[in-house]
Structure 1
Amino acid sequence: MIDRRGLFAAAGALCAAPGLSFAAPARLGADNPVVEAFVAEQKFQGVVMIGRRGKPSYVRAFGSADIEANKPATRETIYGVASISKWLTTIAVLRLVERGKLSLDSPIATWLPDQRPDTGKTVTLAHLLSNASGIPNAFTPALKADPELLKHELSAAEAVKRFGQGDPLFPPGTKFDYHLVNWFIVTAIVEAVMGKPFQTVVWDLTTGPLKMSHTQAGLIDADPGVAQSYYAGPPLAPRSNPRLSVMAAGGGYFSTADDLLVAAHIVFDTPFLSEASRKALTTILVPEQDYALGGRVRTLTIDGQPRLAGWETGRTAGFSSVLGHRLDTGDTVVILNNTDLSQKALDLFADKLFGAAPRPG
C-alpha cells in the first residue's frame, strides 16, 4: 500500500510552491434557489460547487462532515468519490498511451502474459476502461462469501490471478458489465509497465500535475479532514468503508470539490491531454450507457439545444458524488454527499443546476 503520509507531505509542498495559493472563501456566490430547495427536500449534507473553466462562482457546504464529532461540512472536507476514481485512472492511462507505454487497442496479454489465452488475446485496454471486457466478476461473490477478504491486502497481480480468470461472459465490446475486476486488471497492467505502485503512477501522471493536493486513495474515516459516511436515515447511522489498495483504480479515491472542479477544467478544456486523448476520453463506446472511457458523456438539453457534458459519478458506502462538465462552455457542477442519497437524485439535481430540461421518463 502506498504511504499516505508521504503523499500528503508532497501535496503540502505543492501547495506551498510559489504562485500556487489555494486559499479561498468558504462561502461564495449569491443564494441559489435550486440548491436551497434541494437541500430542504432531501436534507442534503455535503458540498455543492458551481464554476466555469476551473473558477468557482458558487460554493456552499451543508450539514455535518461528522455528526458524532459535531464537525460541520466545509468547502475543504474530503469525501469518497467512488467511481470518479475510474476517470482519474483513465487519465493516467491515456498519458501512458501518449508516451508509448500503453495502447488502448492492444490485447491485455501484451502486458499480462499469464492471463488466460482467450481473454488475454481478445480483451483490450479500451474494453477494460469502458467496462465491456466480458471478463466475469469473481470478486463480488468471493467478498459476499468471505467479508474478511477486505482485511487482507493482495497485489494487483494476485487479484487478477484470483478474480480475473473466469470464462468470458460475452465477446469483448458487445455488452456493458460494470465491476471492479476490470479495474484490477488495469491496475496490474499499469504496475507491470511502470514498475511502480499504481497509486504512485496516478500521483505522478494525474493528481500531482493537476494540483489535486487533497485527492488520494486509501483514506479512512479517521483520517483528518475526511467526512464520516452514513447509512440513509432516519436516523443516520455511521458506515465503515474498508478498501483494499487494489480497489483504488475503480473506486478508492477521496477528493474535495475544489480539486475536482479544477481537474475537470484542465482535463477537458486545456491541452493537458493530447487532442487524441481528449477525443478518446469523450467518445461514447457503450451507447446504451452513454459510457466512454472511465465515465459517461451525457447529452443535456439546455435552452432547447443538445449540449454534451462529461459526467462522472460515484457511490460507495454512504458517499455519493457528481462531477459534471459541459464540453462547450467549460461550466462545471460538483456535488459531494456523505448520507447515501440516491445517484438519480444527485444527477437530477445537477441537471437543474446546469439549467437542463428534465430527462424523458
Structure 2
Amino acid sequence: MKLENLLRKIESVQQKIQFSGTIFTKQGTDSLASISFGYSNRSEKIENEVNTKYGIASGCKVFTAIAICQLIEKGELSFDSKLQNCLPFEFPHFDENITVHHLLTHTSGIPDYFDEEVMNDFEELWIKTPMYHIRNLQDFLPLFKNEEMKYPAGAKFQYNNSGYILLGLIIEQITGMSFSEYVETNIFQRAGMLDSGYFEMDALPAKTAIGYIDFSDGTWKTNIYSLPVKGGSDGGAYVTAPDMMKLWESLTNYKLLSESITKQMLTPHAHEVEGLSYGYGIWIEKNDEEVSKYLLMGYDPGVNFHAAFYPKRDLKIVVCVNTSKGAYDMISGIEEVLALSNS
C-alpha cells in the first residue's frame, strides 16, 4: 500500500508542477520507484528515461571532495595543507592561513566568482567573460583570484564555488591529470558510473537531457548560453539517476575511500544558518544529535538536482531535473509519504 501511495504522490507532484526529470528510489537492494517525466529534448519530443543523463550543478561537489580525500589517503596532501603551498598561482589578497579543510567546508573566506550579494542571476557572469571560453579550471581564475577576502579564513561558513575550483586545481597539480579525467577514472569507473561524465554543452553525447529555462508566459529557452561550456570541480557533471545511486552505494560501502576517511567526510564540520551542517562536499541534517539525512543539491539555470541518503532506513532517493526547479518539491513529497521528516 505504501508503494502505491508513493507512486500516487509522485504523479500528483508531477501534475502540480509539471515536473520534468527522473526519480529513482531504493531501500536496501529493493527499488521503490523508477519513473521519468517530460522531455529530454522538447523540440524533438524525446522523452526522459531512467538512463537519461542530467546535469547536476553543485551536486557534484561531492566528487571533488572524494578526489581530495583519495589524495589525502595516499599521503599526497593533508586537510591542513595550506593553499599557498599547493598551487603555483598568485592570490595577492588571500589569507595565507587558508587550508584544504577551509576550502572543503566553505569556510575559507575567499571571494566567490558567483557572489549572490552582487548578482542574482548566474547568467550575469557571462556578460564580460563569455561562457564558451570556460572549458578548463584555470579559465575560472580571472573571475576571482585578484579580489579581496570576504572574511578571515575559518571565521564562518559561506557557500563558495571558488573554493571548489581551487580544490580541482590542486587535484590537477598533484596528479598531472585534468580534473575531469581524474574523476572519471578514479570515481566514476570505480563506482560503475559508466554513463556519467563531464561533457561539453556543445558536444553532448546521446541520451543527455537539454536544460530548459521556463518563463511565466509559457515560453522557454535552453540553458546553452547560461552555463560554462564544460563543468568543473564546483559543478557541472552529467549523471544518470542509477549512476548516482551507485555513487551513494560505493561511498557508504567504502569502495571509494577507507572507512575512517569516509566517516571524516560525512562528519558535520561547518554549520549553516538554516539548520543544515556541511561535511566535505555534502550537506548533513541531524535530529537529536543523530544524522537523519545526507543530501546533495544542485541549482543552475535549467538544472535542478537532489539526492538523499537516510542511514537509519538504508534509503536512497535521487531526483534529476532538466528545468530550473522541481527537485525539492518531489523529494519533499516522497519524504511525506515515507514518513521521513524525522527519520
Contact conserved, 2:211 with 2:222, CA < 8 A, in 1?
yes
Where in structure 2 are the equivalents of 1:25-64 lying within 5 Å?
32-53=7-28, 56-64=31-39
Residue 343 of structure 1: how far off its partner (Å): 5.6
Q: Contact 1:137/1:164 (CA < 8 Å) preserved in 2?
A: no
Q: 1:176-212, CA deviations, whole angstroms, 9 ceiling, x for partnerless residues?
A: 2223211221111111111111111111221111111
Listed as ranges, the matches of 1:75-94 within 5 Å are 75-94=50-69
Tell me, yes or no, if structure 1 residue 291 matches structure 2 residue 274.
no
Correspondent of 2:165 among 171, 184, 187:
184
Show CA shifts across 1:236-263 (max 9, x none).
5132235447741111101110000111
Structure 1 pair 122–208 and aligned structure 2 pair: CA distance change class (3 A): same
Relative distance call for 1:316 and 1:162 in structure 2 (3 A) is closer
Q: Secondary structure of 1:322's partner?
A: strand
Paired amino acid for 2:279 = A
Aligned mates of 1:195, 1:149 — CA distance in 2: 27
Distance 1:97 1:311 in 2: 23
Match of 1:264 in 2: 248
What does residue 311 of structure 1 align with? 295
Q: Is the 8 A contact 1:49 1:59 kept in 2?
A: yes
Aligned position for 1:330: 314
Secondary structure of the 1:335 match is: strand
Contact preservation (8 Å) 1:52, 1:330? yes
Inter-CA distance 153–44: structure 2 relative to 1 (3 Å threshold): closer
Partner deviation per Cα, 1:276-332 (whole Å, 9 max, x = no partner): 22112211122224211112011369xxx9652210011112111111011233210
2:207 counterpart letter in structure 1:
G
1:72 Cα shift? Answer: 1.0
Choose between structure 1 and 2 for higher RCO, CA contacts under 8 A separated by at least 6 residues. Answer: 2
- Tell me the distance in 1 between the aligned counterparts of 2:205 and 2:237: 13
Matched, 1:173 2:154: yes
* Aligned equivalents of 2:178, 2:86: Cα separation in 1: 16
TM-score by length of 2: 0.85
Q: Rate the CA distance shift 1:53–1:122 in 2: closer, same or farther, 3 A.
A: farther
Q: Is contact 1:300-1:356 (8 Å) kept?
A: no
Q: Secondary structure at the match of 2:9?
A: helix
**Unaligned ranges ≥5, structure 1:** 1-28
Amino acid at match of 1:227: A
CA contact 2:307–2:317 (8 Å) conserved in 1: yes
Which stretch has the larger CA shift, 119-128 or 159-168?
A: 159-168
Residues 88-103 of structure 1: pairs in structure 2 closer than 5 A: 88-103=63-78
Number of residue equivalences:
328
- Counterpart-to-counterpart distance in 2, 1:353 and 1:164: 46
Percent identity between matched residues is 20
CA distance in 1, matches of 2:327, 2:107: 22
Distance, in Å, in 2 between the alignment partners of 1:70 and 1:352 is 32
State the match for 1:108 in structure 2: 83
Q: For 2:152 and 2:162, locate their aligned partners in 1 and report how far apart those are by CA, in whole Å.
A: 16
What is the CA RMSD across the aligned residues, in angstroms?
Answer: 2.8
Does the CA contact (< 8 Å) of 1:321 and 1:346 recur in 2?
Answer: no
Residue 119 of structure 1: SS of its match in structure 2?
A: coil
Match of residue 339 from structure 2: 355
Q: Give 4+ residue runs of structure 1 displaced > 6 Å after superposition.
A: none
Look up the match of 1:25.
none
How far 1:145 sits from its partner (Å)?
6.9
Letter matched to residue 33 of structure 1 = R
Q: Corresponding residue for 2:257?
A: 273
The question of whether the paired residues in 1 share the 8 Å contact of 2:83 and 2:100 is answered with: yes
